[in-house]
Structure 1
Amino acid sequence: MQGGLFSARFLTLNSAHTSMCIYMYICKMSGDSVQTAKLPSSEPPVMLKKSRAVGSLSPPEPATQEVQDITNQVKLQLEVKVNGKCDIFRAILYRTQIVAGTIYFIKVQVADTEYVHLKVLLGLPPENVCPALVNFQTGKTRDDPLDYF
């Protein structure tokens, strides 16, 4: 490494708000000139997935079997609170919020054109292994947005 001082430079580039690419460059400084060379492309750039901030809501996603299972576990809690029975209880859409455990916001079909929004806490084990219905909203439609409440 004669003839100059070497230093590493890192450039961070944002790509489509979903990931970051980090490229490493080597700079050789000799006298008044600086030579920059990108590292050989034998290794792909490091891709880091942007993670959601703790406490923020995930984007809405179609309900999975796991979400339906959580929904089924709080059905009786909702029926007691509304003093009624739900013949249909189908999870349609959900969002999550990471706290001390996970809060699920779930859009549930309870009749042909009637929906409810559930706020369900699934706490951290071992204390809270059963989902708890924290809050709910009735009188919803399929098109109502599933937002924080």
Structure 2
Amino acid sequence: MTDAKPGGWSDTKDATPEIQKICDEVKGQVEAKTKKKYEEFLAVKYRNQIVKGTKYAIKVHVGGPSYLHVDLFKSLPNNGEDIELIKVEENHTKDDPINAF
């Protein structure tokens, strides 16, 4: 699988501890947006795109057969590395492809 190139989306990759950390940081925002509490919130796959920061499209397992697709933007270090939740899609399965936003 290739890494993200400026302007282009990466292939789908297995989530890393860094991706899980990003998900942990936005879990509260995701719960507020979906109006649900998640005991499990495990990043499993992701894609990314480098463009004035990094866009992430992440598949998150939230228990049983349920998965979310979470789209985020992380700004560059010189802009504070803020993480912005863009979109949450519910009702995904383990095998659904992660679509770039």
Structure-2-length-normalised TM-score:
0.90
Counterpart of 1:61, as a letter, is K
Larger Rg belongs to = 1
Which contiguous aligned blocks of 4+ residues in structure 1 show a shift greater than 4 angstroms?
50-53
- Whose helix fraction is larger, Structure 1's or Structure 2's? 2
* Match of residue 144 from structure 1: 96
* Match of residue 23 from structure 1: none
Cα distance change of structure 1 residues 51 and 88 upon mapping to structure 2, 3 Å threshold: closer
* Match of residue 97 from structure 1: 49
Q: What is the correspondence of 1:20-59 to structure 2 with a 5 Å cutoff?
A: 53-59=5-11
* Match of residue 33 from structure 2: 81
Over the matched positions of the two proteins, sequence identity in percent amounts to 37
Counterpart of 1:126, as a letter, is N
Q: How many residues in Structure 1 have an aligned counterpart in Structure 2?
A: 100
Which fold has the larger relative contact order, with Cα–Cα distance below 8 Å and residues 6 or more apart in sequence?
2
Tell me how far 1:145 sits from its aligned partner.
Answer: 0.3
Tell me how far 1:70 sits from its aligned partner.
Answer: 0.4
Mapped partners of 1:65, 1:51: distance in 2: 16
**What is the SS of the residue equivalent to 1:111?**
coil
Tell me how far 1:53 sits from its aligned partner.
Answer: 4.4
Mapped partners of 1:125, 1:138: distance in 2: 30
Q: Which runs of 5+ in 2 are unaligned?
A: none
* Match of residue 75 from structure 2: 123
Tell me how far 1:83 sits from its aligned partner.
Answer: 1.1
Aligned CA RMSD, in angstroms, stands at 1.7
CA contact (8 A) 1:122 1:128 kept: no
Q: Which runs of 5+ in 1 are unaligned?
A: 1-49
**What is the SS of the residue equivalent to 1:86?**
coil
Mapped partners of 1:122, 1:52: distance in 2: 14
Structure-1-length-normalised TM-score:
0.63
- Whose strand fraction is larger, Structure 1's or Structure 2's? 1
